[in-house]
Amino acid sequence: MISLLYCGNEKVFKGLLISALSIAENTEEALDVHVLTMDLREENPAFRPINTAQAKFIEAALQKENSESRVVLHDATELFRKMMADSPNMENFYTPYAFLRLFADEIEGMPERIIYLDTDTVARGDISPLFAFDLCGCDYAGAKDFLGKFFINPRYINSGVLLLNIKQIRKSGLFRKARMFCATKKTAFPDQDAINRLVSRKCFFPSRFNEQYAVRKDTVVRHFSKTLRLFPFFHTINVKPWDIDGIHKKFKTHEFDEIIYKCLALAEEFEKQHYEERQTI
């Protein structure tokens, strides 16, 4: 069984569905999916947690690929508020949910080895070799950040896909230190900066498990992170998998059409079901 970790609020539902189901369709292994969420509607009405119905719907979709797959939902609201309520990074380009992965070591029942993925990732190959990657006692393994390795540090890791050694992280205190860093210091990429700066030992896995620029022949996970293009003029691209028209226009690819269209149809089915349920209450 492959353990996966996602974080976010109810707005990441489509992305989580696309990412998890694309992984399920490319491996024979069952998936043990853990989802960290929190209810921050007091801070922002839009910050609604991923709900049980969404988690169960994703679980049912995964079980069509492997009946042993499961989705476990974890509420980290109180943990987050206790540490991060006064963080200078609460007002940031990223939502507060970007910090949730830093609480994985505090969650009861969290597997000791788990792959964290952003919800803008799509698999096109078997992720099981990544899950089996030799961590050599390191806190985590990751791929170099496509831009950060040039502009920040040659060893700067992108945090969108990480193989986490939770047992070692608890021992080293990495996430505890990272939470404190994010709670007190304002930085451009707070959680990513923290795990890069504070880690004592980290491993590097091949970029095919977190390809941030374009699909290559050996790409296993395509990460649709924000990136830069120099031609025909200097500009940024920030298109996510659920924006299928944007994927076609900006990246000139139809490679992920089948899984994306499938998941968008499933998401529409979910919304229709729950709209009808709300109307009958």
Concatenated DSSP letters for 222-257? EE---EEE-SSS-EEE---TT-HHHHHHHH---TTH
Res 281: pLDDT: 43
In a domain, 90, yes or no: yes
Domain of 155 in residue numbering reads as: 2-225
- At 163, is the secondary structure helix, strand, or coil? strand
In a domain, 260, yes or no: no
**Structure confidence by residue, pLDDT tens digits, 174-189:** 999 999 999 998 888 8
Residue 205 tokens, joined: 């896995």
Listed as ranges, residues in the chain with pLDDT below 70 are 228-235, 275-281
pTM exceeds cut of 0.85 = yes
Res 277: pLDDT: 56
DSSP 164-229: EEHHHHHHHTHHHHHHHHHHH---SSHHHHHHHHH-S-EEE--GGGSB-S---TT-SEEE---EEE
In a domain, 271, yes or no: no
In a domain, 253, yes or no: no
Residue 226 tokens, joined: 């924000």
For a pLDDT cut of 90, what percent of the chain falls above it?
78
In a domain, 89, yes or no: yes
Res 232: pLDDT: 59
Handedness of CA 264, 268, 273, 275 (dihedral sign): positive
User: What residues have CB less than 8 Å from 148, skipping those under 6 apart?
Assistant: 156, 157, 158
Res 89: pLDDT: 81
In a domain, 242, yes or no: no
Give the C-alpha separation, 238 to 228, whole Å: 9
In a domain, 31, yes or no: yes
Give the C-alpha separation, 67 to 56, whole Å: 13
In a domain, 156, yes or no: yes
Res 234: pLDDT: 56
181: domain CATH number is: 3.90.550.10
- At 3, is the secondary structure helix, strand, or coil? strand
Domain total for the chain? Answer: 1
Give the C-alpha separation, 112 to 166, whole Å: 5
